[in-house]
Amino acid sequence: MQGVILGYRRGSTTQNVNQVLIDFGLENDKKAAEILGKEVIWISPSGKQIKGKIIAVHGKKGVVRAKFTPNLPGQAKSTQVKLV
């Protein structure tokens, strides 16, 4: 399953660069809750793989939060990730 990175988790004055929001095209939060705990992989343009884990549902529209180690760079916004 492919997903799109929407951006970092953020508030009005803060930005949490250790968590990113990912949209997999799921209809609601109940469908998104089924993929909690699964791994995701982002592949950089140079071919380096960065692994992450889905940690929480974000809102009611099927968006999830993921934590990557190491953190994703800013160039990862609006790129694809793969659910493992």
Q: What's the pLDDT tens digit per position in 34-84? A: 999 999 999 999 999 999 999 999 999 999 999 999 999 999 999 999 999
Mean pLDDT calculated for residue range 18-31: 96
Q: How many C-beta atoms surround the C-beta of residue 39 within 10 A?
A: 12
Query: What secondary structure does DSSP assign to the chain, as a single string?
Result: -EEEEEEEEE-SS-EEEEEEEEE---SSHHHHHTTTT-EEEEE-TTS-EEEEEEEEEETTTTEEEEEEESPPPGGGTT-EEEE-
| Predicted pLDDT at 29 | 95
| Torsion (CA) 63, 65, 7, 13 in degrees, nearest 10 | 110
Domains and CATH numbers, the chain: 2-83 (2.40.10.190)
- pLDDT band, very low/low/confident/very high, at 26 (cuts 50, 70, 90): very high
With a threshold of 0.75, does the pTM exceed it? yes
| Predicted pLDDT at 70 | 94
